[in-house]
Amino acid sequence: MDNKKILIVDGHAKKSFRSHRLPWAQKARDEGYEVHVTALKTGGENLVRQAGFPFHKIAGRDRGQNPLTELGLFVRLGHLLRRLDPDIAHFITLRSVLYGSTAARLVGVPAVLNSITGLGYLFTDDSWRTRCLRWGVLQGLRFALGHPNQRTTFHNPQNADLVISRGLVPERETVITSGSGVNPEQFSFVNGTAVAEATPLVMLATRLLWHKGVGEFVEAAQHLQKNGTDARFVVVGESDPENPASVPESTLRAWHDDGVVEWWGYQDPDTMHEVLQQAHVVCLPSYYREGVPKVLIEAASTGRPIVTTDMPGCREIVTDGENGFLVPPKETEALADHLHTLLQDPELRREMGRNGRRRVEAQFTADRVATTIIEAYDQLCRRNGEA
């Protein structure tokens, strides 16, 4: 290969690219691609450079409500695509796909890979404002996803089916990956006996959005505490004031101060394996339109049983009764009951933890996902040559 150039456009240099996509970029580089990176939000740029990839800053400030701010970001992205002139532009997350693929068509980028990692609150919330926004995004995607040489990856088949059913992409141009994958050596299996003597700890680690089931988790914790269950309940993550569905920091602090849950705040992705090893059970009662939540893959790799919702993405990593439990969305009582079952049965926790680890090794390794991404790059390059 004669050093084909790729520009990866992600949401955030540290919280998205560095924590989720770095194995893809490294494998592409190993295969002879020249990889460049940019992000739609500020922060973590030096971490990308330290990993050996050129970073091109286009985000002047984080996303706000001002459309002119978004327009400026779109224009700067278009200028970067024109100046860098990549053979392939790889857009990751829905916002990046919408802006980037539109710009790529306008400036004539020869090939595009879109990675729709999840559909988020835009496809779960039913308020009038969200419905209007969803309609506008869908119209924009009709143009953005119309590039003549493209592939679109999804983390689960349900999200792919939704986009295909709207007529946005043909099925033949879609690829399903097993989430973003995980490094099983970093997130190594730690048998539950290592923490068996401690008070059982249930952990929710996620972006702290209401749609992720944070409120339901707290209600389940309160229910179990009132019933005398001996356990600790921990929330890991930070509030996102840019997102209208974010749990306010004041609410998180109040829960912590009242002893309802422990709020540990933001944890560095590089040490997340150590954080998860402190848990006995990992919980994510999300009714968000997930891809495959990376924290659940990490938890399974670490050997932790999972209680999550029977929703697209969540059910990809958890088989009910095998490596965790699936509960109906927003069903706090069912959530509390299944948490109680695991908290009272150390041997069941260990068995489910072992099953989860085997599932990750078979389907959800970062190397497996990276191989799928590189195959898509190769296919796009071949089509470039044929054009």
- The 10s digit of each residue's pLDDT in 77-103 is 999 999 999 999 999 999 999 999 999
Residue at token pair 């999550």: 308
Please, which pLDDT band fits residue 244 given cuts at 50, 70 and 90? confident
| Residue 1 pLDDT > 60 | no
Question: For position 134, what pLDDT does the model report?
Answer: 85
Name the pTM for this structure. Answer: 0.91
Question: For position 61, what pLDDT does the model report?
Answer: 66
CATH superfamily of 5-181+366-386: Glycogen Phosphorylase B; (3.40.50.2000)
DSSP for 261-280 reads SEEEE---GGGHHHHHTT-S
At 17 the three-state DSSP class reads helix
Tell me the mean pLDDT in the region 21-35. 96
| Residue 15 pLDDT > 60 | yes
Please, which pLDDT band fits residue 386 given cuts at 50, 70 and 90? low
122-132 pLDDT tens trace = 777 778 888 88
Give domain 192-363's CATH number out of 3.40.1710.10, 3.30.70.20, 3.40.50.2000, 3.40.718.10.
Answer: 3.40.50.2000
| Residue among 2, 68, 8, 62 nearest 32 (CA) | 2
In the chain, where the domains are located: 5-181+366-386, 192-363
Are 5-181+366-386 and 192-363 in the same CATH fold? yes
**C-alpha angle 255/258/262, rounded to 5°?**
55
Please, which pLDDT band fits residue 369 given cuts at 50, 70 and 90? very high
